[in-house]
Amino acid sequence: MSVTGVSEGDSSAASTAEAAGRESAARGRELVASRMAAASLVVQSIPHEMSVLKALRDRLPRMLVATGIGTSEGHARHLAEVATRFCGQPARFVSTGALAAAPPPGADRDWLIVFSQGLSANARFALSHAEAWRGVILVTGLGMEAGEEVPAEKAGWLDALDRRGVVRVDLGAGTEYGVLLRVIGARAGYAVSWSLLRTLASMRLESVPALTFETEALRGAQENAETRADTIFGPDESVSSFFSSDRTLVLVSEGGALEFVDQLSLKLAEGLLRPRPRAVDVLEFAHGPLQSIAKEPASILYIRAALPSAQASDISAGRKGRDQEEESWLRRFRSTLDPSRHRLRVVDASLPWPIAAIELEAIFDVFVLRAITEVETNLVNWPGQDREAALYEASPDLPVKNTDLFLNPPAAYSLAASSVAWESRTWPEAEARVAAGCRTALLGLGSIEQHGRHLPLGTDRWIAEALLQSLEEKLGDAVALPAVPVGCASEHLDFAGTLHIEPATLEALLVDLLRSLSHHGFERAFLFTAHGGNLDALAEMGPRLCESVLPLRLRIETDLRVGAMQSEVVEAEALSALAAGPHAGEYETSLVAHLRPGSIREEHLVPGRMVEPGEAQGIFYPSLRPNTESGVLGDPSAANSERGQRYLSAWVDLLVSGYLAAFPETPASTEKNPR
């Protein structure tokens, strides 16, 4: 036995383990260094715009919802901040955990953008409800490299996401496994964010000056990162002592700029294996952070970059200059510190925000590599690696192969077979739709007329449009035309804003529209109205209209039990038929609450005149206004958007039944469950 009580065998084993640890630590540092050297070329290879997003051009978002975990969280936050601050595009970051149970309300109007370099198990929770969103984009390095072998479980997920219309965007960095710290992907994620936002702006024919820059300047800033780091920490200065875990570490910046580079605090935590530093704006420093380190040793990185020139000129109007103001903030900040306890380093980026994010990533990579080299930190075998699986490998179940969930066409989906608005197509796309076998046209009539003080004039047109879109999606073999916006509305002419055409005018308009359809190869047309005032005119002109448009076969739906259907669904909701009303009551108001959120004037949700069934016709004609000054028949105060969605579904189901009865030879009529 040795003098210390440790056997020679134990000592030899410990020595071997220590040597292996040093070897893996060195291998990790080499891997980090090699990726640092390759990163700028990868960033430079990311395209200016993402052509794959053109698959979503007919479903542009109301809002972008971005999410990600770990390094990817920084990219999601960055995209949301750049979108709102520089692009005028509403966007927000949502934690992946918040998306795990269910998508947020309104998801069907928004795009979900998920950043996950390796499609981690945890990140899949955000993708579990892909079919609920207007569009879903997955930014990943997994399965994007030629010849890359993807594990079977992840391959199954990629296949399921592809079938649900998720658009995959290449991060350009592969999965970058091997060490805890991501380097190439950490930089590439920003560039992909900019490309996505440029593409979205391009589809709207907008420009984003803040995302216009010289690629050589960005490449040079990354390759010059080591020199920049030398001006912040001297070549012979100990970087590891500045970042030592026994010192509180704080990141500070100005103008809310840390929202662009939230990832930097995680880079320091993962790269240095220390607690994640606090990141605050200089305006927030005196509201807690200062007090927490006032008597404690602390290291502070003060980060600065310029605003894009266009925005800087707007914001700095009336100021003596941005540089003077920035120096003023830094001077004020310095005065709050205790030089005996606090060590400050100022990190100035040469590029403006948001482009500076990549430059700062490169500079911080140098900080991390120098620090872990000094203390031989092991990023290959990191602490807790043997215990993380319980959380790290938690994943939702693989989505089942159910085509009923397939609501979003994938990137390669043929436009000729997809459901998009007729007027959004080009003429070759319209031609291809007919050539693909869709020979039945759907035509809905609306009206521009008063709907009380609380509903917009376009209520009936909006409802007609929604019915057409839903009917096309349900049937699959018919094409929805734009809703005819105006109709026979003489009964509402005493209210300002109402537009009326005479029945003869409507008939002439329909003859011309339907004949043009026949000219383009359509064989059938299904016509209905979302405005009751058109019914009498349609019934009277029906036989003439059908004969005038031959050989086109025309079905005019005037005999559907719409009124009975409305009564049944209102009764099913345990609501009063009187409150539902025949005009601008709870029924129509709930529909609009679902179709056009925010358009209802809530302050005017008050009861109108209540009418019994069968009484309405005599009240509408010749003019409604003498019988109800507000223009409302019913009580809209109980309206509810969720109920409106159910009302719409019931109406669509009724139209589907009428269509299948009219055209039993169409493909949709042979399917038990038409999509």
Q: Provide the CATH number for the domain around residue 554.
A: 3.40.50.10310
Single residue among 160, 175, 207 that ends a domain in this structure: 207
Q: What is the pLDDT of residues 294-318, one digit of tens each?
A: 999 999 999 999 887 644 444 333 3
Single residue among 180, 207, 234 that ends a domain in this structure: 207
Statement: residue 55 has pLDDT above 90: no
DSSP 136: E
Statement: residue 146 has pLDDT above 60: no
Residue 254, classed as helix, strand or coil, is coil
Select from 469, 463, 435 the least CA-distant residue to 448. Answer: 463
Q: What is the mean pLDDT of residues 451-462?
A: 97
Cα(332)–Cα(338) distance, integer angstroms: 13
- Classify residue 675: in a domain, yes or no: no
551 and 568 in a single domain? The answer is yes
* Domain span holding position 437: 415-667
90 and 184 in a single domain? The answer is yes
Give backbone dihedrals phi and psi of 51, rounded to 5 degrees, phi first.
Answer: -65, -25
| Domain count within the chain | 3
Q: What is the pLDDT of residues 343-363, one digit of tens each?
A: 999 999 999 999 999 999 999
Residue 87, classed as helix, strand or coil, is coil
Residue 532, classed as helix, strand or coil, is helix
Q: What is the pLDDT of residues 171-217, one digit of tens each?
A: 988 888 889 999 999 999 999 999 999 999 988 888 899 999 999 99
- Classify residue 121: in a domain, yes or no: yes
Q: To the nearest 10°, the Cα dihedral for 409, 413, 419, 420?
A: 100
- Classify residue 396: in a domain, yes or no: no
DSSP 305: -
Give backbone dihedrals phi and psi of 482, rounded to 5 degrees, phi first.
Answer: -60, 140
pLDDT for position 514: 97
- Classify residue 387: in a domain, yes or no: no
181 and 110 in a single domain? The answer is yes
Give the amino acid at 404.
D
> What does the angle CA 270 – CA 272 – CA 273 come to, to the nearest 5 degrees?
60
512 and 592 in a single domain? The answer is yes
Q: Region of 410 please: left (phi>0), alpha (psi -120 to 50) or beta.
A: beta
E strands in 446-535: 478-480, 524-529
- Strand partners for 298: 248, 342
E strands in 244-376: 248-253, 278-281, 298-304, 342-348
**Which band of pLDDT confidence, cut at 50, 70 and 90, is reported for residue 675?**
very low
Give the amino acid at 308.
P
138 and 258 in a single domain? The answer is no
520 and 655 in a single domain? The answer is yes
Q: What percent of the chain has pLDDT over 70?
A: 90
Q: Provide the CATH number for the domain around residue 153.
A: 3.40.50.10490
Q: What is the pLDDT of residues 366-406, one digit of tens each?
A: 999 999 999 999 999 989 988 999 999 999 988 765 433 33
Q: What is the mean pLDDT of residues 631-656?
A: 93
DSSP 480: E
271 and 161 in a single domain? The answer is no
Single residue among 380, 398, 425 that ends a domain in this structure: 380
